Structure formats: C-alpha cells, structure tokens
C-alpha cells in the first residue's frame, strides 16, 4: 500500500502503536506532525486519533511510559494530553463535527477516521499515519494532501465556504501556514476567505492575534499582512492599517503608498531583530498618516503623524487585545520618536542634539535607530546609501558621547526631593521647572555635569523666584 514512513518514525510512535494494538484500538498520528515529517521540518508535538476513546489510550500510554500522573484529561472535549520528555502528545477519539451559525464550538459525535480527517482544516493537515502493527507507517491520505504538500498549496478538504464558515479561525490559520511554509493558498480557498471574511467577527480577538503573532515572528511577516489585505480580513481586524493603502494624486503630485512602505519597514526590522514589539512598532509607525494627510503648496505633508500615531497606540492595543503594559509603552515611544533622529542625521550633528535623543530614548535607543534605518525605503540607491551613512555617523557620535558621560542611565545630579528640601517647598510646578532648567543646562552643555554646578544653578534659579534656602 502506497507510502510507508515506518523507518522515519520516532520510538514514541512505536510505543503508542504497541499500546494501541494491545487494546485493539485503531490509532494514527495525524495533522501537523505528519505534515512536518514529510516536509522534513522538526516538530515536537504529536496528535493522535483513535477509533474509540482518546482518553483511555492516553492513560494506557501514560502507564507504559511510566508518566501516568502527567496525563491531563479534558473530559468536556474528549481529549487528553501527556507530556513526555519535552514532547506533547495529544489524544482524541475519531469524531464527526457539525456547527451552528453563531459559534466556533462544534457539536461532536463519534465517527470514523475518515470523518475525523474531514473535520481537519487543510488537506496538508489531514494526513494520517497508521501506528497499528499490521499497517505501521502507512499513510492515509484521502484528499491528496501529499500532492498539495509537493505543490505547496493550502486547500480545504471540504467545500471551503463550509470549512471557513464553520470555524472562521481557519482563515487565519490558512494565512499563517501559507507564510510559515511559503505555500500559496489555492485560488478557490482564497476566494472563499474573501467571501467569509465577515465571519471572523465570531472569533475572539485573542485567537486572531495569536495567529497574527505566529506570522509576525517569521522572517518575512509582510506576507501575512498582504494576504490579510488581499482577502479583506484586514478591514475586519485592523482597518487602520488598510487605510494606509493607496496613492492620491493632486496637481500631478502623488505620495508613496504607505501600506507597502509599512510592510517593507516591517520586513526590514525583522531582518535585523527578533524582537516582536519592535515589529509591531514598525507596523504602526505611520499608522496616523491618513488622519493628518494634507496637500499644501503643491506637496503632500503628514505633519505630526508620529505624535498622533503614538496617541492611537493605546486604543489599537486595546482593540487588538495586545498587552497594555510595557509592550504598549515601548511601541508608543518608538512610534512617537521615529522622526526624532532624522534631523540629527541630516544636518551638522551637535553633541546636545544627540545627548537629548539618548536621554529621551534611554534603553530603547538601539531599537529606535533600527526602526529609523528600516524606515529608509527609497528606491533611489544614492539616497538610501546617503541616509544610511548619516545614521552611521549618528551611531558613531553616540558611541563617543556614551564613553564620555554614560548618558543612557544618566539622571541630573539634583533631583526634585533635594530642591524641595533646600527651599522647604511642597511638590509643585516650580520644583519641576527648576529641575528641568538644571537638566537642560547640562544637556546643552551650559554647565558641567556635576553636583556643584547643578547646585549653583539651583540657587540662582531659586533666587529668580524669590526662594531662600533653609538648608545649606
Ligand atoms: P503547529 O505547527 O502550529 O502546531 P499544527 O498543524 O500541528 O501546526 P495545531 O493547532 O497543533 O496545528 O493542530 C493540530 C491539528 O489539528 C492540525 O494539523 C489540524 O489537523 C487540526 N486542527 C487544528 N485546529 C483546527 C481547526 N481550527 N479546524 C480544523 N482542524 C484543526
Ligand atoms: Mg501542532
């Protein structure tokens, strides 16, 4: 019979097969593990389907592997999970599923292996390999999944309109697999995603974002966003990004298409850093451009888009159910500052401008510079090289200044508490003003970075406001 993979199968699979034979249970390894085995991609997790009770087989396998206590049973779902030496084994009884219109939760009844394959999302995820001794290693492939693997195609086993309408999360999974495996989505399947795009609304945003983050970590995350845009899912999930698409022309003058520019910037940062939040910052760096776009004196302007963009970040994060703590603050900061380095890199660089950038960016300075460099997407080679060189100069300058005065962790030598103590003040605006004045004087190089110089200036400033020192 057809393809046999017995020589490539892990020992764990032999053990599961042997336990299944002892208990007279027809058992297969199915889904992602089989797909990745054929594609020669390492994968750790194994899904098993059994004609009978998945929970029973899991418990028997747990006994054999002497890790019965590790078996976690999900009675409601009829599944059981077992962790064995870093591998997650998941067991389910073969089932038939039917759906109702308002929920992704199916009505489940017992079924055959073929029924179980039919409920799978894609042909390449429906491949099963038999584990019973008499047919160990044999592939069961009722929908030509092997051919789709070879042709690099994502296709649903059933009518795609039914597959996607039943569980719309599968539309996101199609895009994620297309990105990760570098496959194309079959034209019929892709069209069905477009037709069913509104159905994504019944999926929780957490699940959608989970899929998005799975393609955001890949080498070329733009592919996922392009597919989202092409199928119309982007309008449902993140319409603000959709709005970046398009070029308007007035008096013969057009601006760049900010959607494709953004995706290029995203891929650029992805090629230089694995940090997921830097990638989100790249995705959002120009998000406010459509809101501030103006045509003035024959040219397009996007004034203040970075500040308005930063202001949009909290509500974007909230809608997308992204974490609202540190990651949000970080993205907000980078979006808000992504134009700060440009004037510095364009003109004669002064120490004080670079110091200010270092102070404001703090620990995120390196990431900010990566974003700024990634933002250079000009097609004119000469221009690109010139801009990149300018950033090189900024980086050199930072290195020099860093050695000079450890500015990244720098705090002014006098803080608000000291000012309040000296002048016997309660917390008030004046304290902040004096503190800022000292900070600015040091950053601008007007006074030296020492306690004595700072204290002297503090007394001078205090005098201006009629303050006298109670402590000397
Ligand atoms: P990954 O490498 O991300 O784990 P996977 O294909 O193993 O990929 P899982 O989410 O682990 O994906 O699911 C295991 C298998 O279960 C899939 O291969 C597929 O057969 C099936 N499956 C998972 N989610 C769905 C779904 N929403 N609809 C239909 N089948 C699904
Ligand atoms: Mg898996």
- pLDDT score recorded for residue 1: 44
Query: What is the band of 342 on the pLDDT scale with cuts at 50, 70, 90?
Result: confident
Residue with tokens 């100069």: 393
- Write out pLDDT tens, residues 51-64: 999 999 999 999 99
pLDDT > 70 in the chain, percent: 97
d(CA 283, CA 224): 12
Residue with tokens 């005098």: 463
When pLDDT is averaged across residues 230-237 and rounded to a whole number, the result is 98
Tell me the CA–centroid distance for residue 31 and ligand 1, in Å. Answer: 6
Tell me the CA–centroid distance for residue 88 and ligand 2, in Å. Answer: 9
- Write out pLDDT tens, residues 114-141: 999 999 999 999 999 999 999 999 999 9
Give the ligand at the shortest distance from the Cα of 105. Answer: 1
Task: Determine if ligand 1 sits within 6 Å of the CB of residue 167.
Answer: yes
Rg of the chain over all Cα atoms, to the nearest angstrom: 30
**pTM, entire model:** 0.84
109 contacts 95 by C-beta, under 8 angstroms:
yes
The pair phi, psi for residue 34, each rounded to 5°, is -70, -45
Query: What is the band of 46 on the pLDDT scale with cuts at 50, 70, 90?
Result: very high
Residue nearest to atom 1 of ligand 1 (CA): 32
Pocket perturbation via mutation, ligand 1, pick of 94, 95, 116, 120 by most ligand atoms within 8 A of CB: 120
Residue nearest to atom 28 of ligand 1 (CA): 121
Strand-pair partners of 80: 73, 91
Query: What is the band of 230 on the pLDDT scale with cuts at 50, 70, 90?
Result: very high
Give the ligand at the shortest distance from the Cα of 126. Answer: 1
- Assign 3-class secondary structure to the chain: CCCECHHHCCHHHHHHHHHHHHCCCCEEEECHHHHHHHHCCCCCCEEEEECCCHHHHHHHHHHHCCCHHHEEEEHHHCEEEEEECCEEEEEEECEEEECCCCCCCCEEEECCHHHHHHCCCCHHHCCEEECCHHHCCEEECCCCHHHHHHHCEECCCCCHHHHHHHCCHHHHHHHHHHHHHCCEECHHHHHHHHHCHHHHHHCCHHHHHHHHHHHHCCCCCHHHHHHHHHHCHHHHHCHHHHCCCCCCEECCEECCCHHHHHHHHHHHHHHHCCCHHHHHHHHHCCCCHHHHCEEECCEEECCCHHHHHHHHHHHHHHHCCCCCCHHHHHHHHHHHHCCCHHHHHHCCCCHHHHHHHHHHHHHHHHHHHHHHHHCCCCCCHHHHHHHHHHHHHHHHHHHHHHHHHCHHHCCCCCCHHHHHHHHCCCCCHHHHHHHHHHHHHHHCCCCCCCHHHHHHHHHHHHHHCCCCCCCC
When pLDDT is averaged across residues 215-240 and rounded to a whole number, the result is 98
Pocket perturbation via mutation, ligand 1, pick of 39, 116, 121, 142 by most ligand atoms within 8 A of CB: 121
Task: Determine if ligand 1 sits within 6 Å of the CB of residue 121.
Answer: yes
344 contacts 394 by C-beta, under 8 angstroms:
yes
Pocket perturbation via mutation, ligand 1, pick of 29, 30, 31 by most ligand atoms within 8 A of CB: 31
Q: Which long-range contacts (CB under 8 A, 24 or more apart) does 103-107 make?
A: 103/202, 104/166, 104/167, 104/168, 104/169, 104/202, 104/203, 106/166, 106/167
Average pLDDT, the chain: 92
Task: Determine if ligand 1 sits within 6 Å of the CB of residue 45.
Answer: yes
When mean pLDDT is compared across 126-135, 261-270, 334-343, the lowest value belongs to 334-343
Alpha carbon 130 to chain centroid distance?
Answer: 36
Task: Determine if ligand 1 sits within 6 Å of the CB of residue 333.
Answer: no
């Amino acid at each position: 019979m057809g393809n046999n993979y017995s020589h490539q199968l892990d020992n764990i699979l032999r053990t599961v097969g042997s336990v299944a034979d002892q208990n007279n249970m027809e058992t297969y390894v199915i889904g992602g593990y089989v797909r990745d085995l054929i594609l020669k991609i390492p994968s750790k997790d194994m899904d098993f389907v059994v004609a009978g009770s998945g929970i029973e087989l899991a418990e028997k396998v747990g006994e054999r592997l002497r890790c019965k206590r590790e078996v976690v049973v999900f009675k409601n779902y009829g599944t059981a999970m077992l962790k064995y030496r870093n591998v997650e084994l998941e067991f389910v009884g073969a089932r038939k599923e039917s759906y109702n219109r308002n929920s992704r939760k199916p009505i489940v009844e017992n079924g055959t292996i073929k029924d179980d394959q039919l409920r799978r999302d894609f042909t390449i995820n429906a491949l099963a390999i038999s584990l019973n001794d008499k047919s160990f290693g044999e592939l069961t492939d009722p929908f030509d999944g092997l051919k789709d693997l070879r042709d690099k195609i994502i296709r649903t086993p059933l009518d795609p309109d039914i597959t996607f309408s039943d569980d719309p999360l599968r539309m996101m999974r199609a895009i994620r697999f297309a990105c990760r495996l570098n496959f194309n989505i079959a034209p019929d399947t892709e069209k069905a995603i477009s037709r069913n795009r509104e159905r994504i609304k019944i999926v929780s945003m957490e699940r959608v974002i989970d899929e998005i983050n799975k393609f955001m970590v890949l080498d070329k995350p733009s592919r996922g966003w392009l597919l989202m845009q092409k199928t119309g899912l982007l309008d449902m999930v993140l319409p603000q990004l959709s709005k970046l698409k398009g070029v308007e022309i007035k008096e013969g003058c057009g601006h760049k298409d900010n959607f494709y520019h953004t995706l290029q910037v995203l891929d650029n940062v992805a090629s230089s850093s694995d940090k997921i939040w830097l990638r989100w910052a790249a995705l959002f760096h120009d998000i406010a451009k459509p809101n501030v776009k103006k045509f003035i004196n024959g040219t397009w302007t996007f004034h203040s888009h970075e500040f308005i963009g930063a202001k949009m970040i909290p509500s974007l994060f909230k809608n997308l159910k992204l974490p609202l703590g540190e990651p949000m603050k970080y993205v907000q900061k980078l979006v808000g500052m992504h134009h700060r380095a440009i004037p510095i890199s364009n003109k004669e660089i002064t120490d004080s401008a670079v110091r200010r950038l270092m102070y404001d960016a703090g620990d995120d300075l390196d990431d900010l510079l990566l974003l700024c460099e990634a933002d250079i997407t000009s097609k004119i080679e000469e221009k690109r090289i010139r801009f990149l060189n300018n950033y090189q100069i900024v980086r050199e300058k930072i290195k020099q200044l860093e050695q000079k005065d450890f500015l990244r962790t720098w705090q002014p030598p006098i803080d608000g508490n000291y000012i309040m103590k000296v002048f016997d003040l309660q917390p008030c605006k004046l304290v902040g003003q004096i503190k800022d004045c000292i900070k600015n004087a040091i950053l601008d190089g007007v006074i030296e970075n020492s306690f004595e110089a700072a204290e002297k200036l503090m007394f001078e400033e205090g005098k201006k406001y009629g303050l006298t020192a109670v402590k000397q």
